[in-house]
Amino acid sequence: MDVYLHLIGQGLAIGLLTGILYVLIALGLTLIYGILHIVNFAHGEIYMLGAMGVFYCYVVFKLPFAATLVVILLLSLLLGLGVERAFFRPLRGQWLQLVVASVGLSLIIQSLGWIAFGIQEKNVPSFFTGVVAFGGVRLPTQRLIAAAVGVVLVGLLYALVYRTKVGLAMRAIEEDEETARMLGIDADRVAALACAVGFALAALAGAFVAPIYSLNPGMGLEAILMSFLIIIVGGLGSITGTVLAGLLVGVLQSVGGVLLGAEAAYGLVFIVMIVVLVVRPAGLLGKA
Amino acid sequence: MKRGLLGLLIAALVLLPPLGKPYVLHVVIVILINVVYAQALYVIMRMGYLSFGHAGYIALGGYTSALLVTKLAITPWIGFLAGGVVAGIFAWALGAVTLKLRGIYFSLSVFAFAEVVNAAFRAFEVFGGPAGIAGVPRPALLGTRLNTHLQFYYVVLAVALVSLFFLYRLQWTRFGFTLLALRTRETERLAESLGINAARYKTLAFVVSCFFCGLMGAVHVHYLRFVSPFVFTFFLSNDLMIYVMVGGLGSYWGPMLGTVLLTGLGEQLFAAGYYKSLVYAVVLLVVILALPGGLISLPRILRRGGARERVLPVAADVTAARER
């Protein structure tokens, strides 16, 4: 019995630490959804590119860790701006086309990834070694630091959305785009910024999981699946809802994985999503 | 004219195959199977809904039939139907919950559902685990097992023609017109104000769509003679969506055109692995950006002289803010 309690404690802690990284990906989706009203399917691939970026910059080209992060940050911001300009802007207001275009984009990045990076799984050595023990629960420093960075990034995002003028513009567009445009808000620029920030969050999440998982070009699929479940459970467009749901899903997956096995944990998370859809269709904190 | 062409095409499909080589037959079989999948998906895309997980329902149909036939020794003919029915039941269950909500909830839930179904097939020994189920027999007719390509071709052709005819006729029924009226938030409200239960119609449309996917999925599995979690994946769902979008949403013949062209192309690119997805995706983006009505809108645009009119009427309606 004691062993089980211990395992659950361990699962709970790991779940929270993983959950915060899911939150980063899901928040980018939420941000883009708020402005463009689409879910960006290519988001999982940006996460994959972030992780691959670490492999190439940090392992292959031996850049310092900080420089690696800067490179990934800049490239993902640029990619976000570029994708918005090339694909999302011409299709504004055409929901079906927009979503399908993001699926196409995801396929392009993924298949190019398989062609360029190969099918060999890649591993990145830990940035930080060591284990920290809290009571009976032992956590790798690596995961703790990744989670800490996640918390900081979530805090920064809150500040951006709720404390800056750009954030005000974002919320205004989400509320009522037509009125926002009439008041002189440049919706295209705000959309570009949302994409850039969203992409950067996903890429950074990828960068911090790089030492935790084996990397391959298909790794975005699991991440995007979990993120979709999270934004449904949390409520589309709600930042706080996304954060709560991300932690919840992380814990469910981790504890469920320990007790029932990885595949059953998927099922568990899915059942939670269906229950939420039945009981609270708009999600935990979503507006109906 | 149109009717004559169609008759000619069907006659060719019935009469020519004995002359074809097995490889050519294989390509035609794959095309026929994909055409039914795409046309079934079109039922819900026509009413403005996207599904990222139709492969999940195809897999449900395939596994149902494979299990019934290999474990319980039931005849494949009943297996086919059972595949469709099981897929339909699961579609009803998910649709009843999600189709009352905004379109995006539906799309994401179907995607998650398909992944969970896939995980279940991988996890449980009953379903054969990652190795899947091998030795799925072909059906027998009048005492002969339909083991050759040519014999099974006619099974596929029969199922495809019946399905396609049904899905075509469905558009011109009261039910089909009602679905068209649910394309946008505004027209949906209007329909509801006339006493139409939109959620029930949408759920029924999803059930019909998944029934035919499950049915053809079962036929597909008996064609391959095996099924595993890696046969019907997310990539199949994507491909189907791409066929429909590239062909065009404006007409019943659009998805068919897209499927025939891209499946034909895909068979040629098959050896090249990931290049197939790459080419499909590039074609998709080019068509979406340059030709929003899909390839089927091309003759009309050419006749008008230039792509002045950017979006065909029906396609425009379908794209209007579904999820808001």
**How many CB pairs below 8 Å do chains A and B form together?**
128
- pLDDT tens digit sequence for A7-46: 788 888 888 888 888 898 999 888 888 888 888 889 999 9
Chain A hits for B280, CB-CB cut-off 8 Å, are 107
Chain A hits for B286, CB-CB cut-off 8 Å, are none
- Predicted local confidence at residue B128, as pLDDT: 82
Write down the ipTM of this complex: 0.85
B151 reaches A (C-beta below 8 A): no
Backbone angles phi, psi at B145, to 5 degrees: -75, 135
- Among B45, B46, B52, B108, the strongest candidate for a mutation testing the A interface, having the largest count of A CBs within 10 A, is B108
Q: Which range, B20-24, B81-85, B100-104, B295-299, is most confident?
A: B81-85
B157 reaches A (C-beta below 8 A): no
Q: Rounded CA gap, A245 and A249, in Å?
A: 6
B308 pLDDT exceeds 70?
Answer: no
Say if A3 falls within a structural domain. Answer: no
A93–B321 CB contact, under 8 Å: yes
Say if A287 falls within a structural domain. Answer: no
- Count other Cβ atoms within 10 Å, centred on residue A117: 17
Helices (H), chain A: 2-36, 43-54, 65-83, 95-117, 141-163, 165-175, 177-182, 187-209, 220-234, 239-260, 262-279
B321 pLDDT exceeds 60?
Answer: no
**Minimal C-alpha gap between A97 and chain B (Å):** 7
Chain A hits for B322, CB-CB cut-off 8 Å, are 95-96
Query: Which CATH number characterizes residue A183's domain?
Result: 1.10.3470
SS3 A84: helix
CB A72 within 8 A of CB A203: yes
Confidence of residue B324 (pLDDT cuts 50, 70, 90): very low
Confidence of residue B313 (pLDDT cuts 50, 70, 90): very low
A267–B52 CB contact, under 8 Å: no
Q: Which pTM does this prediction carry?
A: 0.87
- Predicted local confidence at residue B13, as pLDDT: 81
Q: Which residue of B has its CA nearest to A106?
A: B281
Who wins on pLDDT, B64 or A285? B64
- Predicted local confidence at residue A105, as pLDDT: 93
Q: Rounded CA gap, A225 and B166, in Å?
A: 34
B322–A115 CB contact, under 8 Å: no
Q: Rounded CA gap, A256 and A270, in Å?
A: 12
- pLDDT tens digit sequence for A123-164: 888 877 788 887 777 788 888 888 888 899 999 998 998 999
B92 reaches A (C-beta below 8 A): no
Who wins on pLDDT, B24 or B31? B31
Query: Which run of H or E residues covers position B245?
Result: helix B234-247
Q: Which amino acid type is present at position B87?
A: A
Range of the domain at A111: 8-119+127-279
Q: Which range, B102-106, B155-159, B250-254, is most confident?
A: B155-159
A191 pLDDT exceeds 80?
Answer: yes
How high is the mean pLDDT of chain A? 87
B324–A37 CB contact, under 8 Å: yes
Q: Rounded CA gap, B12 and A279, in Å?
A: 54
A262 pLDDT exceeds 90?
Answer: no
- pLDDT tens digit sequence for A85-126: 998 888 887 888 888 899 999 999 999 998 888 888 888 888
Backbone angles phi, psi at A132, to 5 degrees: -110, 135
**Minimal C-alpha gap between A87 and chain B (Å):** 8
Q: What's the maximum distance between 2 C-alpha atoms anywhere in chain B? A: 61
DSSP state of A261: -
- Among B45, B54, B116, B125, the strongest candidate for a mutation testing the A interface, having the largest count of A CBs within 10 A, is B116
- Count other Cβ atoms within 10 Å, centred on residue A228: 25
Closest CB from B101, B120, B241 relative to A100: B241
Beta strands at A131-134 and A137-140: parallel, antiparallel or unpaired: antiparallel
- pLDDT tens digit sequence for A194-234: 999 999 999 999 998 888 888 888 888 888 888 988 988 88
B119–A266 CB contact, under 8 Å: yes
CB B128 within 8 A of CB B122: no
Chain A hits for B241, CB-CB cut-off 8 Å, are 100, 103
Which residue's structure tokens are 């689409």? A38
Q: Rounded CA gap, B43 and B249, in Å?
A: 10
Say if A189 falls within a structural domain. Answer: yes
Ranges of each domain in chain B? 20-319
Rg (alpha carbons) of chain B, rounded to whole number: 20
**188-227 in chain B: CB under 8 A from chain A:** none
Among A261, A263, A265, A270, residue whose Cα is nearest residue A253: A265
B106 pLDDT exceeds 50?
Answer: yes
**199-258 in chain A: CB under 8 A from chain B:** 221, 225, 228-229, 231-232, 236
A12 reaches B (C-beta below 8 A): no
The answer for residues whose C-beta is within 8 angstroms of residue B57's C-beta and 6 or more apart is B87, B90, B91, B114, B210, B213, B214, B217
- Predicted local confidence at residue B259, as pLDDT: 92
- Predicted local confidence at residue B272, as pLDDT: 62
Q: Determine what percent of chain B is predicted with pLDDT higher than 90.
A: 29
B314 reaches A (C-beta below 8 A): no
Task: Dig out the tokens for A28 from the structure.
Answer: 């980018």
Least confident of A70-74, A272-276, B54-58, B159-163: A272-276
When divided into structural domains, chain A yields a total of 1
A97–B292 CB contact, under 8 Å: yes
Task: Dig out the tokens for A250 from the structure.
Answer: 């992380």
Which residue's structure tokens are 């003759």? B299
Q: Spell out the CATH class of B20-319.
A: mainly alpha
Give me the mean pLDDT over the B187-194 stretch.
86
Among A118, A103, A228, residue whose Cα is nearest residue B277: A103
**Minimal C-alpha gap between A106 and chain B (Å):** 9
- pLDDT tens digit sequence for B113-164: 898 898 888 888 888 888 888 888 888 788 777 777 888 889 999 999 999 9
B289–A261 CB contact, under 8 Å: no
- pLDDT tens digit sequence for B36-65: 999 999 999 888 888 888 999 999 999 999
Say if A248 falls within a structural domain. Answer: yes
Who wins on pLDDT, B268 or B200? B200
- Predicted local confidence at residue A82, as pLDDT: 94
A101–B289 CB contact, under 8 Å: yes
Backbone angles phi, psi at A94, to 5 degrees: -105, 90
CB B278 within 8 A of CB A115: yes
